[in-house]
A = this chain, B = another copy of it.
Amino acid sequence: MKPTPKQALRETGVRVTRQREALLKVLTEASDHPDAAELHRRARTIDDSLSLATVYRTLSVLEREGVVLRLALENGGARYEVADTPHHDHIIDLDTGEITEFRSEKIEDLQRQIAAELGYEIVHHRMELYCRKRT
């Protein structure tokens, strides 16, 4: 069974510190897709000495270790989520900013097929649908 984020950290030989545990806890509990500043705000309630610089440093470690995913939206802001669910893409509600996850095996197949026709192999991809609720 899948290791907890904390276990995942230990296993990669990265040191488990107070601030990293705080950040992991906040990340794990977040169902929305917070940005670095928001994560900092939340994690501070657990460890008030945590600095924003460390949040960034930790997020990049966690991303490198495959524990979190960075979601770079079109407006330039980066959002984060724990990598504990299978691959999926996102729908962004233009009015509320709410982010919904979805997954389509069919689309993934088509993407691979298109890339292959052009002589490419997909390493990773991003797909975001910027939407508005239907009235």
Contacts and interface: CB of A to CB of B under 8 A. Distances in A.
Contacts of A133: 119-121
A133 B76 CA distance: 28
Interface string A91-135: 101100000101010110011001110111111111111111110
26 contacts: A72-B74, A72-B75, A74-B126, A91-B114, A91-B115, A91-B118, A91-B120, A104-B110, A104-B114, A110-B110, A114-B129, A116-B134, A120-B131, A120-B133, A120-B134, A121-B131, A121-B132, A121-B134, A122-B129, A122-B130, A123-B130, A124-B130, A125-B129, A126-B126, A126-B128, A126-B130
Contacts of A123: 94, 130-132
Interface residues of A, number: 34
Query: Interface on chain A toward B: helix, strand, loop, or mixed SS?
Result: strand
**Interface-central residue, A102, A114, A120, A127, by most chain B CB under 10 Å:** A120
B119 A111 contact: no
Contacts of A74: 72, 126
B127 A125 contact: yes
Contacts of A72: 72, 74-76
A93 B120 contact: yes
Given A115-B131, A119-B133, 4 more contacts: A102-B118, A121-B133, A122-B129, A123-B132
